[in-house]
Amino acid sequence: MLEKPGIGGKTRRGSKTRTRVRVVEDGKVRRRPDTLATEEPMETRLVTGGSTQTVAVTMRTPGADFELAAGFLYGEGIVTSAEDIKRISYCVDPEVDAEQQYNIVNVELRGGQDYDLRSLDRHFYTTSACGVCGKASLEQLELRGCPVIPPGPEVSAGVIHSLPDKLREAQGLFDATGGLHAAGLFDARGELVALREDVGRHNATDKLIGWALMEGRLPLSDHIVMVSGRSSFEILQKCLTAGAPIVCAISAPSSLAVDVAREFGMTLAGFLRGERFNLYAGSERVTVSPPTEETG
């Protein structure tokens, strides 16, 4: 599953793109260089049983593409372990435009197994803004046999308060571009374990889970996943599949995200602002000292 360093002498696009802008300030205009977050399509192809099938196209920031593909397939239940994946590579088909070869990822699955691809029908085109298109329901997760997350760990409110600043401090690409989301994995003490960035929250989460899959660190028991922006059904689905008991987000969750958290025993925190956050599910994992509670 090693990444090829080059294809036909071509180099892939980086995660940052240089441009020039006109800055209008105090009634004056000046030109200066600027850095943008790169956004390009990535086509994920499954290679199994002698056939190749496109299963998803997503707009993403180039970088950690193999983790993105692996994490996406794991989150959808297509693969259940790193051993299901024989090889991941970029496209080397000479008929493909050389400029697009690094935008096509082939995931070769091991033979002799039946892979249910029906869950991928709704994923043929994914945008960086809204996640996958199509209906998503709790029944899909139940039919896939996703287990309820077991109790624990307990984390202090102070740990959760500290996560946004730690996530932001680790966002190197955001510093350069100002236009990227992040997904971070923290331990129960609030120490950062890994972080991935992308123009899409769900892509960043897939990259993080793909890293954990290929590093043999799943399930993510006793860990916290923190995402920038809001938490959606897609984010909770991916974290549930990875076994993450606690999910935190800078902004608000969707109603279906809350439903997933409550149905499957996850802790969901949102609106992390300074010394304040909202708990939408799983409050038993968060300790507050002194343990007082007001109603209003």
E strands present in the chain: 16-25, 28-37, 40-48, 51-60, 85-90, 104-109, 126-127, 131-132, 155-156, 181-187, 192-198, 223-227, 246-249, 267-273, 276-281, 286-287
> Secondary structure of 113-142 in the HEC alphabet?
CCCCCHHHHHHCCEECCCEECCCCCHHHHH
CA distance 219 to 73: 15
Question: Long-range contacts made by residues 16-25, C-beta under 8 angstroms, separation at least 24?
Answer: 16/173, 16/176, 16/177
Other C-beta atoms within 10 Å of 192: how many?
15
What are the phi and psi torsion angles at 34 (to 5°)? -145, 165
CA distance 206 to 235: 9
- Say whether 130 is catalytic: yes
Which of the residues 130, 146, 239, 248 is marked catalytic? 130
- Residues with catalytic function: 130
